[in-house]
Amino acid sequence: MGDRFTGRVALVTGGGSGIGRHTARALAAEGATVVVAGRDKDALAETGGVPVVADVTVESEVEALLATVADRFGRLDVAVNNAGVFGGGMPLAEMPSAEWDRLVATNLTGVYLTMKHEITLMRGTGGTIVNVASNIGAHGRRPGLGAYAATKAAVSVLTRNTALEYIGAGIRINAVSPGPADTAMSLWPGETPDDRAARLASALPIGRVGSLDEITGAILWLASDDSAFTVGHDLVVDGGATA
Ligand SMILES: NC(=O)c1ccc[n+]([C@@H]2O[C@H](COP(=O)([O-])OP(=O)(O)OC[C@H]3O[C@@H](n4cnc5c(N)ncnc54)[C@H](OP(=O)(O)O)[C@@H]3O)[C@@H](O)[C@H]2O)c1
């Protein structure tokens, strides 16, 4: 276990489960004080760290979240914008517009809003931001999942452009695009996480889904000084799916 984040203040959105929870715990294990944000208070409390209930689709809640970080710690060194929802699962003309709105609001507007208020707090001191996109945004081909893929591709583009806008201010912004990982996201009805892992593994060149350590390892690398010369990059971690 390293100590790359000793003395640093970190924020992880979607910190109550899956990749976000694992990332929050990994940051804490390497010395960070970690604020975890999401909509489920109990889930956040189970993760550990400093739980703050906030919906990333609501600007006033994102502003209040960053105000809490500012009040309690006076700074923000690391932000991992991981909150996201999976959905769609049907051809475009069949998909209710409410489902489109839900995906865009969480996966894209949520990243815009969190980056906006994180950058405001990081100005002057600098910091690192890692947005969690998806390899589906990079390869873009998954009939039925076009809306989800489009939100993730947009996160990747937004990451690159925002990185160029703020690297001069010492704020280094990158993205991680995981492939199928060992979480409960995108379970089919009645499917267990093990069934899901087996289903997805068969389509991956490496023959298995990614572990939480493997996804979190990439996030922590981009959040740390180990990647100090890496700016505006979208690191695809997907077992060869987009190779
Ligand atoms: N697992 C994969 O195979 C995979 C692959 C590629 C990319 N990803 C991306 O990785 C990220 C994490 O996914 P995961 O696999 O760890 O799934 P997960 O366990 O469902 O995590 C998503 C988290 O986002 C939070 N969230 C959702 N809507 C929110 C909102 N409006 N405001 C605040 N928090 C919200 C959820 O908490 P609440 O609902 O309690 O708020 C949950 O903790 C997502 O962005 C996902 O798209 C996952």
Residue that is written with structure tokens 């694992």 in the block: 22
Alpha-carbon torsion angle 25, 28, 32, 38, nearest 10: 30
- 100 burial class (0-12, 13-18, 19+ CB within 10 angstroms)? middle
Question: Can you give the pLDDT at residue 48?
Answer: 98
Q: Residue 189 — very low, low, confident or very high, per pLDDT cuts 50/70/90? A: confident
Share of the chain above pLDDT 70, in %: 100
Residue that is written with structure tokens 């769609």 in the block: 88
Q: Per residue in 12-65, pLDDT tens? A: 999 999 999 999 999 999 999 999 999 999 999 999 999 999 999 999 999 999
**How many whole angstroms separate alpha carbon 102 and alpha carbon 88?**
10
At the second CATH level, the architecture of 9-235 is 3-Layer(aba) Sandwich (3.40)
Q: Per residue in 125-151, pLDDT tens? A: 999 999 999 999 988 888 999 999 999
**79: helix, strand or coil:** strand
Rg of the chain on CA atoms, in Å? 17
Q: Which of 27, 56, 148, 237 is catalytic?
A: 148
The secondary structure element, H or E, covering residue 222 is: helix 212-223
Task: Give me the residue spans of the domains in the chain.
Answer: 9-235
Answer whether 57 contacts ligand 1 (Cβ < 6 A): yes
Query: Which ligand 1 atom sits nearest the alpha carbon of residue 20?
Result: 16
Q: Known catalytic residue: 148?
A: yes
* Protein residue whose Cα sits closest to atom 8 of ligand 1: 134
Greater confidence (192 vs 53) lies with 53
For the residues 92-98, what does the mean pLDDT come to?
A: 97
The neighbour count for residue 77, using CB atoms within 10 Å, is 19
